[in-house]
């Protein structure tokens, strides 16, 4: 018996893709490799650059699939996950240069656009690849209330909002996935500004949503806790390469994490092969999370 991941006929929405360097893009590519059509949500200020890179072929190498075709995005939708509905955004923001021509960029707006284009139900897989903490470089002791709540809102509540608004438009047996980090469970110095709290909230919410969305619609909800990866977004935090090297030296397997490792795990969790898995945080970090002491103690 041959087991394979087959997502043919499925439609995925990956929230948080603006380049080819992060986990969101890798997940989108893996889902496409498995046969799914892929729509993405992109932060409006990054859309122009992203669309230009695509149009000029600058991402062609990254988009190459195993069968010789290229990853194509069925839709690229504006998405600012700080806003549940369009009316939540200020008039000043709506009229600003990078937003005014994008239409409804809220989470509800993205769901409505997919229904307008494809009918309802129309989605099978929703991936939350979103995180932002304006004070992430601050120690928690130096984090303001505003910075803390902003981190939790953009990085954790946005997942709740996605499930609220996409759950009703998903086909039976839908799969939600969010991306977490070990800072949700353990101390990661330098990952501040409330971001560790946001990841802890994200994982806790994931478990409760697995119950609520499972009973209400029959959907599954899971998380991937990925090891550190030097994406463009992560590099803004500072010290990311040091963390990557530390994981490499101290994980159960002395291997570097690749973005495609996370993509493959996401495709599995979205597939029928994982039909009985929900409410679970899957660690994709070469076993670093299981280590209680560094290998160096052996001399």
Catalytic sites, residue numbers: 181, 191
User: How many Å from the N-terminal Cα to the C-terminal Cα in the chain?
Assistant: 45
Report DSSP state, residue 291: -
Beta bridge partners of 42: 78
Dihedral (CA of 215, 216, 218, 222) sign: negative
Q: Under a CB-based contact definition with an 8 Å cutoff, are residues 279 and 206 in contact? A: yes
Give the three-class secondary structure for 286.
coil
Q: State which H helix or E strand residue 116 sits in.
A: helix 107-118
Give exposure, 254-269, as e/b (b: 16+ Cβ within 10 Å).
Answer: eebbebebbbbbbbeb
Give the three-class secondary structure for 178.
strand
Rounded to an integer, what distance in angstroms lies between the CA atom of residue 88 and that of residue 107? 11
């Amino acid at each position: 018996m041959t087991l394979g991941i087959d997502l043919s006929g499925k439609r995925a929405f990956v929230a948080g893709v603006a380049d080819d360097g992060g986990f969101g893009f890798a997940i989108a590519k893996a889902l496409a490799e498995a046969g799914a059509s892929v729509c993405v949500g992109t932060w409006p200020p990054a859309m122009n650059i992203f669309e230009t890179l695509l149009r000029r072929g600058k991402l062609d190498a990254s988009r190459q699939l195993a069968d010789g075709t290229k990853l194509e995005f069925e839709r690229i939708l504006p998405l600012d996950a700080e806003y549940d509905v369009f009316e939540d955004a200020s008039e000043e923001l709506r009229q600003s240069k990078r937003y005014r021509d994008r239409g409804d960029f809220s989470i509800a707006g993205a769901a409505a656009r997919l229904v307008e284009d494809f009918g309802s139900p129309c989605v099978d897989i929703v991936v939350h690849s979103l995180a932002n903490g304006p004070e992430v470089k601050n120690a928690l002791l130096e984090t303001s209330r505003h910075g803390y709540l902003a981190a939790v809102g953009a990085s954790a509540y946005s997942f709740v909002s996605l499930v609220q608004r996409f759950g009703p438009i998903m086909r039976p047996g839908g799969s939600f996935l969010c991306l977490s980090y070990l800072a949700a469970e353990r101390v990661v110095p330098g990952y501040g500004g409330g971001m560790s709290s946001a990841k802890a909230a994200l994982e806790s919410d994931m478990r409760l949503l697995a119950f609520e969305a499972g009973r209400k619609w029959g959907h599954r909800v899971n998380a991937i806790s990925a090891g550190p990866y030097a994406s463009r977004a992560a590099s803004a935090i500072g010290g990311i390469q040091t963390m990557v090297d530390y994981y490499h030296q101290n994980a159960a397997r002395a291997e570097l994490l690749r973005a495609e490792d996370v993509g493959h795990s996401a495709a599995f969790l979205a597939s029928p092969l994982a039909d009985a898995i929900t409410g679970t945080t899957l660690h994709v970090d070469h076993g670093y999370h299981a280590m209680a002491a560094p290998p160096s103690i052996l001399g």
